[in-house]
Amino acid sequence: MISGGSRSELSVTLVKAINRNPIYLEKMNPVPLQSSPKKLIDFLQLSAEYLQQKGIESARLEAELLLADLLGCKRIDLYLDFNRPLTKLERENLRDRIARRGRQIPLQYITGKTDFFGRNFLCREGVFIPRPETERLIEIAKEAGKNKRFKRVLEVGSGTGVIGLTLLHENIAEMVIAIDISEKAFKLSAENAEHTGLIPVYNDEAKVVFESADDSISKFQYELQHTGLDHFVRTYNSEKFDLIISNPPYIATSEAHSLPETVRKFEPDEALFSGADGLDFYRSLRSVLQNLLYTPGVFLGEIGEKQGDSVQSIFRSLGNTTIHQDYNDRDRILMLDLL
């Protein structure tokens, strides 16, 4: 605490502290009457408190992630070097990041990164952020392949590219064609292909083809197309696919109000919503699936936790359908074995 001095001297000291730390301006709890923080641990604590006041659930964790990313270190390093002072530029950048997160902007959009199945991928505003439960698609695809690579895979809705690229890097697929109607998603998937070590061999405005590096143990190919499903079906005249996989939009438009602000305000509607009941995409896919999938063949799609029965009723006439659960034992993946 500040001891001694007049009321005016106290005010001047507090104003100086506020000027040095704008986060104080929005803090409703009493501000510690001490000199402006200088140590890393002090900024970390202030950041966590601020995010907690803004309703961020894992405030401490997210403050650690934002600061560690800014400093280019691991979270544990923050505590190994907790007395380290932050430079003026570091302080300004941290305050900007914390303020943006306080406005509910997703963490991944701030850092420009996301992790999926043990790999780091680029992430950007305007493209859907991969969720941990989507990793179940990869696990189930591996099981469905029975330890053999799928020769030809179609991914409908590439987004950041994490699903198709992970299938290749995990040696689950030999060749993936990924399509997305979003230009932002198309470009980001291409960036992530290079980010994970793939080599571009063909490039135009609507199609990019990548191959694995020369030193890869298993050769594979990744083809991106900037197109929607309907156009792809009309124009694609090549072979069918052994596996079709997708994490499509499946939220009912009537449920938009119930989504967290960080999702509702910042993630793209076209990646979230699919008609009044959330199943428009699946109805469209049902009408063309037999034209795209070999017999026997496998389709895997992510679904909402209450959509299992409804989605099965759409596809049941085509073959055997199974619902797999996510890591929280909620219905999450539809598997169709086309007969």
Give domain limits for the chain: 7-103, 111-338
Domains 7-103 and 111-338 share a fold: no
Output the pLDDT for position 266.
97
The tens digit of pLDDT for each residue in 58-85 reads 999 999 999 999 999 999 999 999 999 9
Q: How far is CA 23 from CA 17, 69, 282, in A?
A: 10, 20, 46
Q: How far is CA 313 from the centre of its chain?
A: 29
Collect contacts of 202-206 with beta carbons under 8 A, ≥24 apart.
none
Alpha-carbon gap, residue 292 to 320, rounded angstroms: 17
The torsion angles phi and psi of 75, rounded to 5 degrees, stand at -60, -40
CATH architecture type of domain 111-338: 3-Layer(aba) Sandwich (3.40)
> CATH topology for 7-103?
Helicase, Ruva Protein; domain 3 (1.10.8)
Q: What is the mean pLDDT of residues 232-250?
A: 93
Bond before 296 cis per omega within 30 degrees:
yes
Identify the band that residue 218 occupies on the pLDDT scale cut at 50, 70 and 90: confident
> Is residue 286 scored above 80 in pLDDT?
yes
In angstroms, the CA 278 to CA 243 distance is 23
**Model-level pTM?**
0.87
Has residue 217 got a pLDDT over 60? Answer: yes
Q: How far apart are CA 178 and CA 42, in angstroms?
A: 46
Please report how many Cα atoms fall inside a 13 Å half-sphere around the Cα of residue 313, on the Cβ side: 5
Q: Which two tokens stand for residue 95?
A: 């305050």
Nearest to 327 by CA among 69, 131, 96: 131
Return all residues near 217 (Cβ < 8 A) that are at least 6 apart: 171
CB 315 within 8 A of CB 279: no
Decide: helix, strand or coil at residue 337.
strand
Q: What is the DSSP letter of 332?
A: E
The rounded radius of gyration (Å) of the Cα atoms in the chain is: 24
